[in-house]
Amino acid sequence: MLGEIILIKLDVIKKMTTEEKYKYMLILLEGQLSSEKDIYANISNASAIIYAIFDKLNWSGFYFVKSEELVLGPFQGLPACNRIAIGKGVCGTAVATKKIQRIDNVHDFPGHIACDSASNSEIVIPIIKDDVVYGVLDIDSYDFNTFTELEEKYLIKFVDKLNKYIDWSQL
Ligand code: SME
C-alpha cells in the first residue's frame, strides 16, 4: 500500500449526498495517512483531497508558522501570498485567536487578504496540537456562504486526523 496513488472515483462522488462526500473525504485521508510517512506527500494530497471533494472551491491549502509568521505550504489553486503576518487576514486571525474563522463574505472581514480576487467565502481551521499552533488549513470558495456548520464539522475531523498522524515539528 505504501506509495500507492489514491484513486478518487469522481463518478462515484457525483452520486453521493453532501455528507456522504465528506465521510468519503475522511476515508481517503485515512488511506493516505496510514500508507505514507512523508509529511509533504501527506499534506500535498490532503489539500488535493479537499479540492476534489468540495464543491465551489478556488483554493485549498496550508500555511505554517515559521519564524513568527505564516509561510505558504502545499495547496491547490492559483499562486497565493507567500507570507502572512500573525494577526493579519483571516489566516493570521485564526492563528492569533486559535479559533476557526468561518467567513460567509470575505469582503466584510476587516483586513481580509485577497490572494485570489475570485474568493467570496472562506474557512480557516487552525492546526493546534498539544496547545502549539503549527499553522492553518485555509479553504476558499468563489461563492458566498459556502461553509456551513456541516462543512466546519467535517473539516475539524479532517484536521483531527492530520494531527493524529503528523508530527508537525518535523516540517
Ligand atoms: N484570504 C487569506 C489569505 C490566503 S489566501 O486566501 C490563499 C487571508 O485573508 O488570510
Q: What is the DSSP letter of 142?
A: S
Q: Which atom of ligand 1 is nearest to the CA of 119?
A: 6
How far apart (Å, rounded) are the C-alpha atoms in residues 148 and 54? 12
How far apart (Å, rounded) are the C-alpha atoms in residues 28 and 142? 24
122-151: per-residue pLDDT in tens? 999 999 999 999 999 999 999 999 999 999
Backbone angles phi, psi at 139, to 5 degrees: -130, 130
Return the CATH architecture of domain 2-170. Answer: 2-Layer Sandwich (3.30)
Domain-wise residue ranges, the chain = 2-170
Instruction: Point out the least confidently predicted range of 3-17, 31-45, 97-111, 113-127.
Output: 3-17
**All three cell numbers of 147:** 461553509
> Is-contact 42 165, C-beta < 8 A?
yes
pTM over 0.85? The answer is yes
Our answer on whether the CB atom of 113 is closer than 6 Å to any ligand 1 atom is yes
Q: Which atom of ligand 1 is nearest to the CA of 75?
A: 7
